[in-house]
Amino acid sequence: MDYARFVRLRRPIWERFEAQLAAAQKTMTHAELEEMALCYRQVLHDHSLSATRYPGTAAVEGTRRLGGGRPEQMTGFTEFFTRSFPRAFRRQLPLTGIALALFLLAAFWGLAMTSMKPALGIAFLGPDAVSGLADGRLWTESLVSAVPPAVSSSRIATNNISVALSAWSGGILAGIVPLYIVLLNGLLLGSILGLTLHYSMAGELLEFISAHGPLEISLILVSAGAGLGIGRALVMAGDRPRGLAVRDAARDALTVLLGCVPWFVVLALVEVLVSPSPELPAPLKLAVGLSLEALFLTLAVFPGRTVESP
């Protein structure tokens, strides 16, 4: 049964219950009170069922109100990262999954394209970087060596946050900008990997990105998923007013974006201090990258007992 049919079939009960609530201010008989209690249980069951089967619809808000809930409030740093952010993150998981699938598709396409025609790599890296690969050098060796680490990390964090902001705010254009960012980054990663494979430098590239790459990709995809949420609300508002749907989606998207910002700062420090360091062994860099990824996902999806089910 689809959501529209479900609403049509159950709406008479909901409307009768609403009328009984309006009449509750007047004198009610015992029979009327029992009927109202039965109707209340039916309505609460319907809203709970629809919240499970049809997430993102108006029935979810009805369940919260009938259950005595109140709007989420950010009452501090701990409250935000243990309640508000994880709830918004979990609501965005399906869209983040879509972003991940598109990213992988674009990455495989870029890998295949550059593997068959390495000359295309010049369009992504430029002739100097390709010339360095031919000499056995990665272009990453000079990314942060020319400036102090504090300056480099600041630039990297600013760039990453700007990408996330573009993916988030671009959702208002029906999700076109987040889709573009996801596809472009996937294509870029796949193409660069294919080019380094051609010059037998893929191992060095994977070593360089192993410490920061997993978390960086995750943050970009999560931000893009948040932007897609805004685009979906704009295009498919469902049974709610479009303005209300976009407002709720934008609130969730902003919550997710703000929850990612501290991780961008951590990521920038890792990319400057760990990733390019020749003294650190590759297994250690990989362990750092996987640990950061696991910590981020754990705190976002399973932050602790204080988080209630959305």
Query: What confidence tens digit (pLDDT) does each residue in 96-110 have?
Result: 999 999 999 999 999
Q: Are 138 and 130 in contact (CB under 8 A)?
A: no
Residue 71 lies in a domain: no
Q: From the CB of residue 246, how many other CB atoms can be counted at a distance below 10 Å? A: 21
Could you give the number of structural domains in the chain? 2
Q: Are 91 and 253 in contact (CB under 8 A)?
A: no
* Domain boundary, last residue among 66, 91, 111: 66
Q: Are 170 and 177 in contact (CB under 8 A)?
A: yes
Residue 307 lies in a domain: no
Domain identity same for 158 and 124: yes
For 156-211, the pLDDT digits (tens) are 667 777 777 777 677 677 678 888 889 999 998 998 888 888 888 888 888 888 98
By the 10 Å C-beta count (0-12 exposed, 13-18 middle, 19+ buried), 171 is classed as: buried
Q: How confident is the model at residue 121 (pLDDT cuts 50, 70, 90)?
A: confident
Residue 310 lies in a domain: no
Residue 98 pLDDT: 92
247: containing domain: 77-301
Q: How confident is the model at residue 305 (pLDDT cuts 50, 70, 90)?
A: very low
| Cα–Cα dist 124/180, whole Å | 16
Q: Are 274 and 156 in contact (CB under 8 A)?
A: no
| Cα–Cα dist 123/72, whole Å | 47
Domain identity same for 88 and 198: yes
Q: How confident is the model at residue 55 (pLDDT cuts 50, 70, 90)?
A: low
Domain identity same for 226 and 131: yes
Residue 124 pLDDT: 74
**306 has pLDDT over 50:** no
Residue 156 lies in a domain: yes
Residue 309 lies in a domain: no
* Domain boundary, last residue among 12, 40, 66: 66
pTM of the model: 0.68
Whole-angstrom CA distances from 102 to 154, 186, 256 are 29, 8, 20
For 209-250, the pLDDT digits (tens) are 898 889 999 999 998 888 888 888 888 767 767 778 788 888
Domain identity same for 121 and 232: yes
Domain identity same for 46 and 170: no
Domain identity same for 228 and 96: yes
Domain identity same for 176 and 49: no
